[in-house]
Amino acid sequence: MTKYEDVQWLFRKFGVEEGEKRIPYLLRTPTQPVAYALFHTVKFVDHDRSLLIRIVHFLMKQNDGLSFNLASLLKTYYGLDEVKGTFSLRIEPYQLARIERSYSAFCQLVKF
């Protein structure tokens, strides 16, 4: 997938609803558009802290920088202090608000 809109279109085409049903698909494809879709999809399940922690741990185990940066972002965004790890990505509070609204801001932050 080369665009965030393509990811959304594909889910609509196959009738995969927002939320938990999308997560397994999104975790397996480490591209920036898919990472952005995962960031937005996690908002539908943010009430389930244990699921958020499992998602972050899964991302940390992937063998790519994008997944690890996304794990760092989710850890910071949701205040998952119980997740331990050495993260090189440093996120300022003002950056969190920008990435919610802008795909390009998200890509600049998590790029690898």
User: For residue 67, what are the domain limits?
Assistant: 4-110
Lowest-confidence pick of 2-6, 13-17, 34-38:
2-6
Q: Give per-residue burial for 67-101: e unless 16+ CB within 10 Å, then b.
A: bbbbbbbbbbbbebeebeeeeebebeeebeeebee
Q: Could you read off the pLDDT of 24-59 as tens digits, one per residue? A: 999 988 899 999 999 999 999 999 999 999 999 999
- Total count of domains within the chain: 1
Is the pLDDT at 60 greater than 90? The verdict is yes
pTM over 0.85: yes
- pLDDT tens profile 63-86: 889 999 999 999 999 999 999 988
